[in-house]
Amino acid sequence: MITSRLRPRLRERAATPAEAAAPRAKGGGVEGLLAFLGGYLGADALDSIRGACDFGARAHAGQTRESGEAYIHHPLAVARILGAMRMDSRTIVSAVLHDVLEDTDITTGELRARFGDEVAALVDGVSKVSLLEQETREHAEAASFRKMLMATATDLRVIIIKLADRLHNMRTLDSLRAEKKRRVARQTLEIYAPIANRLGMRDLAEELEDMSLCSLYPRRHRAISKRLGEDARGKKSPVNALCEKLGGELRHAGIPARVHGREKSVYSIYRKMQRKKITLRDMRDIHAIRVITETRPQCYPALGLIHRLYKPRPGSFKDYIAIPKANGYQSLHTVVIGPAGQPVEVQIRSEAMHRVAEQGVASHWLYKTETTGEHAPQQLAQRWLSGFLESQQKSLDSGEFLDHLKADLFPDEVYVTTPKGEIKRLPRGATALDFSYAVHTDIGNRCAGARINRRAVALHEALRNGDHVEIITSRSARPHPAWLNYVVTSRARTSIRHFLKQQKEKESFQLGRKLLKQALARQGYRRLRIPSAHKVALLQRLDMKDWTQLLRDIGYGKRPATLAAKQMLAAVQSGGESGGEAEDARPAMVIEGTERLLVTHAACCHPIPGDQIIGVMSGGKGLVVHRATCPRRRQIMRSPDSYFHLAWSDSIKRKFQVPLKMETRNEPGVLAAVSNIIAMHGSNISSVQVSARNNASVMSVTMEVADRAHLEDITKKLRAASCVISLARG
């Protein structure tokens, strides 16, 4: 049975005396945890952990999980998981307190004052970003992952605590509703289990994978588990016999080693079925044998002996000792044909390698002297995190960051060599283009072609183990948007996007500078170079700080060059002293209707010459002209850098549409009388609608006028008409 919660929905109520005492009374509570930890921690460390347990119990008092048990049992269980990994006392304390910032009123400052900076930093790193700080739950989850990995880059214990937290959540998953249970399981399978695998914590990763599969596909999980149970009963003796024979031969050869058999995990079998598109009935190599020698030099003689005894399957040998995996895993892998004709995978590793293979980065805290060096898991994990976070500095948002993280968590890898003989590790499916960015970002940006094994290939050619890759560069070569379809690594994808964005910004800057100079020239501004004082005056007028960004906006089409030119001339003529003026005191720009750009008259207020007007830039509509008394004025004024004070030109000779709303008497001839007044003043009716209301009629008329004076003449006559009760401009 699997059980868990991603984040329990807390039900606040007063804790009963029995519940308050539960953590101490139960064997799995505080006393049980301290007794368990006492196997490797000293008295001072246990005292600090007891203090954290008391603090956490008070903070979580009255809170329960979905299962109904007191909430404090969850952090205690997480601490026990970490205790099984022999983590240090500071990590155990942080595990006990890992939810207090997120689920209680405790602050980081209180934690720092009570438990120190180290614990406060660990707890803060594990705590999620509040949903209130993000637009959606998905954004909050993505932001939380980003925050957690940033903290992990400083201290790996952050992710170890989070993985232990998720492991206990998965063990108690059955208390959640079906929809949330599947969401948690899928997230675990897509992110947490791959992270655990990437950090070399294989035991923890396998448990997360199997429990996730059981929640997502319970029937498939049951079928594979049943097959494994049948095989264990039917083939236990042959596997044991094979282990006994290998153990005897190794002892006879003078190679001290432990040999034991194991079944592959349910999820690893499921993945292999999916990858090879085979049924469970066709699965044959579901058993593996581990040979664990005392020292590293004994691994290779053991391999030679095994190959003499049993025929190896061609192409199945992998040397992860000479070339460790990205997570520090080291072992020799081979597949041999056993006595019954069944393929059996054999893994050969030393005792130190075995501890690293099982615990990964967590092995550092128990076996510090045996896991240091270039290939130590903690060193490789820090290197991976630092490289990943560095490549993601230009990510636009947390969602994009999470997508890149998923793409970077590839369990399968290929190893290729550079022309200098260096080995590069890339995810399976990586292309020559991915390789170029793995060498250096500049090499990728100038990549013009590639040779694999001295054969010219396309940039989207997938790489295979052992390939010799050479990149051909050119000064004229530039990344192309289509390259995003050819790469799988987050480093390559982020670098390409960053270059394309910079290139677009550069082109927009150059275009904006050209358009502004042309617009200034049309206004009679003859300077070849714009003085700094004039630039400052314009930026102050626009409430902007960056001249480069202004030119980019013009180049992008967000800000018309003509309006920017007029604003600069107005600022220069007024001495550029707009910093202390009210917004309404800014000099207006005269518009004549076209200004070499798209001008739209707002339908919400129908401005006409004579009205005080303002303008706002809008995508697809160009400069939208509003009356200064427009109901939308307050909304428009919220963006001072995008609206403009405008004035009408005296040379405008066109008619404008104006709506009028009149309440008239409900009697014959009213429409004719209104139409006659409008016509007598040289105006034309574009549309009219009439509706009855009690003893009156409501007439909506849209007519054409030349300016505000023309409109006032017409409305004055209409108000004087006996049939008109009231009148208002629309």
What is the three-state SS of 105-149? CCCHHHHHHHHCHHHHHHHHHHCCCCHHHCCCHHHHHHHHHHHHH
Lookup result for tokens 């049939």:
723
Q: Which of 80, 81, 64, 84 is nearest to 72 (CA)?
A: 64
Q: Look up residue 693 and give its two tokens.
A: 């209301």
Which residue in 19, 69, 103, 358 is the catalytic one?
Answer: 103
Beta strands 343-350 and 287-293, pairing class? parallel
Beta strands 413-417 and 447-452, pairing class? unpaired
Q: Which of 330, 372, 329, 392 is nearest to 199 (CA)?
A: 329
Phi and psi torsions of 706, nearest 5°: -85, -40
Provide the Cα torsion 524, 529, 531, 537; round to 10°: 50
Query: Is residue 150 within 8 Å of residue 159, measured between CB atoms?
Result: no
Q: Look up residue 310 and give its two tokens.
A: 């049993």
Distance CA 724, CA 730 (A): 16
Distance CA 312, CA 335 (A): 6
Q: Look up residue 639 and give its two tokens.
A: 């963006």
Based on DSSP, count helices (H) and strands (E) in the chain, helices before strands.
30, 19
Is 403 noted as a catalytic residue in this protein?
no
User: Which strands make up the sheet holding 332-337, listed edge to edge?
Assistant: 257-263, 287-293, 343-350, 332-337, 318-319
Q: Which of 434, 431, 436, 456 is nearest to 447 (CA)?
A: 436
Query: Is residue 556 within 8 Å of residue 615, measured between CB atoms?
Result: no
The sign one gets for the Cα dihedral 677, 683, 689, 694 is negative
Which residue in 19, 31, 88, 102 is the catalytic one?
Answer: 102
Reduced to 3 states, what is the DSSP secondary structure of residue 64? strand
Query: Is residue 603 within 8 Å of residue 555, measured between CB atoms?
Result: no
The half-sphere exposure of 240 on its side-chain side, counting CA atoms within 13 A, is 7
Is 103 noted as a catalytic residue in this protein?
yes
Q: What angle do CA 151, 157, 159 make, to 5 degrees?
A: 65
Query: Is residue 310 within 8 Å of residue 368, measured between CB atoms?
Result: no
Give Dmax over CA atoms of the chain in angstroms.
Answer: 123
| Catalytic residue set | 102-103
